[in-house]
Structure 1
Amino acid sequence: MNPPGKLEKGLAIVLLLLSTGAFLNLFLKHGKFAFRQNAGLPFMQVIWSGLYLFVLFFLIKEARGFWRLLLRGWPFLLLLAICLLSIGWSDDKGLTARRSVALAATTLTGFYFAVRYSFKEQLRLLVTLAKICAVLSLVFGAFHLGTAVDSQTGRMYGLFLEPNGLLSFMFDVLPVQQLFEQWSAPWYGIFTQRNSLGMMMALSTVVLLLWSRLEPEHKWSAYPWAGLSFLLLFLSGSLTGFLSLFAVLAVGWLLRYMRTNRHSTRRILVASVVAAAIGLYFIASHFAAVAAFLDRDVTLTGRTTIWGASLILGMDHPWIGHGFNAFWLGDEGSSGEVRKLAGWDVPSAHNGYLEIWLDLGICGLAAFFLGFARHFWKAAECFRREGLWEGAWPLLFLIFLFFVNLAQSSLLSPNYVLWILYVAISCRVCLLTGRRSEGVRT
């Protein structure tokens, strides 16, 4: 089939942009949506329906590749089957049915990107997406457009700007503190909360830096865009975004070192595992001090309270959960109890893996990790066979996805960019490794 044309690529970028949750902050009043959150915006439902028809059209035209992909993407089909079956025991059957259908359409979108775009072409689309999000977020932040879901105020940069902060040495030389104090409130850009901006800008920084390696002639144009993305990440004050970016950059450096020193691969891996274990032990032993250094309290901005309450209230259905997207029903049921304990209107578990367990129980969580482990292994195999940076992209994204979801519920979500990318990258990896295996057998 012919490669994607300009119109198809344009529609793909629009789809990815909307899947980030962009512009929903224009429909917030006093931190709450001006529509029923479980029902959604009617005109957005029409737009999504049109975009999914566009996806279906190209999947039908790529029928042979699509069916081959379905066989190799069985972990996603297993997870979708559990979501659909959960309608039977859901606390809100209608909501679970709608969200399961939306998740199926979102998963098909991931299949579409896997079939139609190579890793390099996927990155090219993401570079364009990163630039659009960065520019619009800068405009929204500078002119205070939109409204955030939360009402967090105050300085978000204690880690950097306090007398003992990482950048405090600059204040003796550069008069920059007053500039940052003017922007003391966290930025959220074109999104509904600062963590969404932080997550997208962290991912954008990774994509742009990776693009500078894939296309060396474009590196001097990629670096300023990566710098703008990092600035917006800084202005968001999202610690999750910072730590996820740091983890990906560290792994990227490690992969590069392993690729150029193949004879030392095992020693490098052992040393990395030992260093990570020592780091985790130190953090666990000095958790309060580490949290204070990162300008957070021991509850991680209330997350530990949410996690504890969710674990307790989720134990009434530990194996099968409450039904896909049916645990958080506002002040009703178990989610209402969590809100009472937390003292505010908690919208999610703030942990992607806990979210899956609450919705689909141990069965759903096991199905997810089965697929994730399989795709991670195949991504490592792809890295060994492909070029350095293009082959590293699947591994880097999976690591980013893993770390982001330790403190955010950004995983099994309908109409959401991270799920689309996870499906697209994982299925593309399965296609590449499958073709090479078939070539070896023949």
Structure 2
Amino acid sequence: MHNGVIAETRGESRKKRLKSAKRWQRLEQAYVIVTLLLFAQAFFPFFQAGQVDSVADGNALLQTIWKIIYGIAAVLIFVHRKRVLAVLARDKLSLVLLLMIVLSALWSAAPEITVRRSVAFVGTNLFAIYLASRFTLREQFQMVAWVLLSGALISAVVSVLMPDIGKMLYQGSSAWRGIFPHKNQLGRLMSLGAIVFFLLFMMKVWPRWLTVGGFGLSVMLLLLSESKTALIVLLLLLVCIPFLRTLRWSEYARILLWLPVGLAGICVSVLVLTYLEPILRYFGRDLTLTGRTGLWDIVSEMILQHPWLGYGYSGFWLGWEGESAYIWRVTFWEPPNSHNGFLDVTLDIGLIGLGLVLLSFLSRIRRTLPYQMSSQSWEHDWPMLFLFYLVLCNLTETTLLDHNSFFWTLFIALGFSLPKWRMAERRSHIRWYDLPAGRGEA
């Protein structure tokens, strides 16, 4: 009898601990979702209202919010320090890149700004490391889905009920921006959202009405944002999905599919190049990509002045107060960046830093391939699609090395989340007919 009472007491105690652990996990998930929403620049039009927001000094209210987020991340990293130490060895390149950015204050053209923003970059990376150590790739993927769904729903409501905020009327445009500072940011997020909800639809882990609704809402907001680049990125990623699925096939099956498709792709490319100008005109662009090519030429000239180490992290684009004043003067417009992520990386930390970033991409791709081929589950396509997405977006926009950035956070978290595959596993030949039908990871 006495032993039975003890066993029952222990059982109740175990249940209480499990409930408490689940409650804390939900709180952490809520913290991650809210933080990622803010990193995606959600609600910035509200935060910036009535606030002095200079290129060099930033926004005081937002800086306070970032400090709170970094502080919580630091506490959670201490709480889960064993897990954090366990994942740090998975992505040493990101740690080297982080060190280089901090040290770039030594040669920066604006050392005080580099110090301040490198601290923000460290905080962003700490949050990404915490995210990777605390949650699996599957859990991260689903939290990203909640972030994008929340952003889409609130953006739709704000754009309809508060058009002065939700639309870019102040620039003489009817394009929607929702709760984000610019229509292009809404477009970028919704193109990614469409991909995420397509994968969730195929995974069958969420209700069909929710995934179909999320996909439809994402596409609708993407079109209303009038972001042509984001639309092209979405179309390219949708085309990539069938090819990623074929990576699980045998070599002969892939050749039988890829050879005719490759030949068709060459023919289409020739037609596109032949009629490039009218095609670009249809999308509201020209051969200069709305002045970007001329900007890239001048940026390349500035890179050649400090080729190896650059101008220091965030040490170049400081408006009329920094080295960017020359570009503003000769181009007769005031771009906030190079409109190319890889050029901006080179401006910040030179060709050495660009090499580290490119190696980080290659390292992730090398580790993503065996991860993707290890299962038929659609969620295993997410890492590769996100990497493709990031490359495509940074051809005409800048999201690489951004502090307090939704995209860079996911990139860093991916590096610390992907498992290290042994050589035998990496070289193993996985045939499509040997794989079981995927229904999602447990």
Normalising by structure 1, what TM-score? Answer: 0.84
**Distance in 1 separating the partners of 2:210 and 2:199:** 13
Instruction: Please state if 1:34 is matched with 2:52.
Output: yes
**Alpha-carbon distance change, 220 to 435 in structure 1, aligned in 2, over 3 angstroms:** farther
Distance 1:78 1:267 in 2: 42
Matches within 5 A, 1:198-217: 198-215=187-204
| 8 Å contact kept, 1:148–1:192 | no
AA at the equivalent of 1:265: R
**2:163 corresponds to 1:144:** yes
Structure 1 portions without partners, runs of 5+: 155-184
Which residue does the alignment assign to 2:238?
A: 249
The alpha-carbon deviation at position 271 of structure 1 amounts to 5.5
Q: What pairs up with 1:33-432 in 2 under 5 angstroms?
A: 34-142=52-160, 143-146=162-165, 152-153=171-172, 185-215=174-204, 218-259=207-248, 263-269=252-258, 279-280=268-269, 282-429=271-418, 431=419
CA distance in 2: counterparts of 1:218 and 1:432, whole angstroms: 33
Aligned 8 A contact 2:155 2:166 in 1: no
CA contact (8 A) 1:26 1:145 kept: no
**Per-residue CA shift, 1:313-370, capped at 9, x if unaligned?**
2211011111111110101343112112322221111111111011111000001001
Residue 45 (structure 1) shift: 2.0
Alpha-carbon distance in 1 for matches of 2:81, 2:115: 26
Amino acid at match of 2:71: L
Task: Determine the C-alpha separation between the residues in 2 that align with 1:385 and 1:404.
Answer: 28
Gaps of 5+ in 2: 1-17, 429-442
Q: Percent identity?
A: 29
The aligned amino acid for 1:22 is A
Counterpart Cα distance in 1 of 2:41 and 2:302 = 29
Aligned residues: 406
Match of residue 17 from structure 1: 37
Of 406-415 and 138-147, deviating more is 138-147
Check 1:342–1:277 CA distance in 2 against 1; reply closer, same or farther (3 A cut): farther
Give the AA of the match of 2:152: A
1:128-163 per-position Cα deviation (integer Å, ceiling 9, x unaligned): 111211112112222214388896545xxxxxxxxx
Aligned to 1:433: 421
Describe the SS at the equivalent of 1:379.
helix
Q: Deviations over 1:108-132 (max 9, x none)?
A: 2111111111222112212211121
Name the CA distance, whole Å, in 2 between partners of 1:117 and 1:234.
33
CA distance in 2, matches of 1:269, 1:140: 45
| Aligned CA distance change for structure 1 residues 225 and 435 (closer, same or farther; 3 Å) | farther
Structure 1 residues 396-439: Cα deviation after superposition (integer angstroms, max 9, x where no partner): 1111111011111111100000001111122211x36369969x
Task: Look up the equivalent residue of 1:202 and give its one-letter code.
Answer: S
1:427, 1:123 → 2: CA distance?
14
Q: Secondary structure at the match of 1:387?
A: coil
Alpha-carbon distance in structure 2 between the residues aligned to 1:82 and 1:149: 38
Residues 114 and 428 in structure 1, CA contact (< 8 A), matched pair in contact too: yes
- In 2: Cα distance, 1:44 partner to 1:396 partner: 31
**Partners in 2 of 1:35 and 1:149 — Cα distance?**
19
Check whether the contact 2:55–2:319 (CA below 8 A) recurs between aligned residues: no
Q: Which has the larger radius of gyration?
A: 2
- Corresponding residue for 1:157? none
User: What SS class does the counterpart of residue 146 from structure 1 fall into?
Assistant: helix
1:180 is matched with which residue? none
In 2, distance between residues paired with 1:341 and 1:437?
A: 54
Kept in 2: contact 1:147–1:192 (CA 8 A): no
Q: Distance in 2 between matches of 1:114 and 1:324?
A: 25
User: Separation in 2 of the partners of 1:27 and 1:62?
Assistant: 32
SS of 2:207's partner is helix
What TM-score does the superposition give when structure 2 sets the normalisation length? 0.84
Structure 1 residues 128 and 330: CA distance shift in structure 2, 3 A: same
Contact 2:53/2:59, CA 8 A, preserved across alignment: yes
Stretch deviating more after TM superposition (394-403 or 262-271)? 262-271
Secondary structure class of the residue paired with 1:295: coil
RMSD: 2.7
1:82-128 deviation line (CA, Å, top 9, x unaligned): 21221111010011111111111111211111111122211221221
Are residues 54 and 288 of structure 1, via their aligned partners in 2, closer, same or farther at CA, if it must alter by over 3 Å? same
Distance 1:274 1:321, change over 3 A: farther
105-114 vs 329-338, which moves further: 329-338
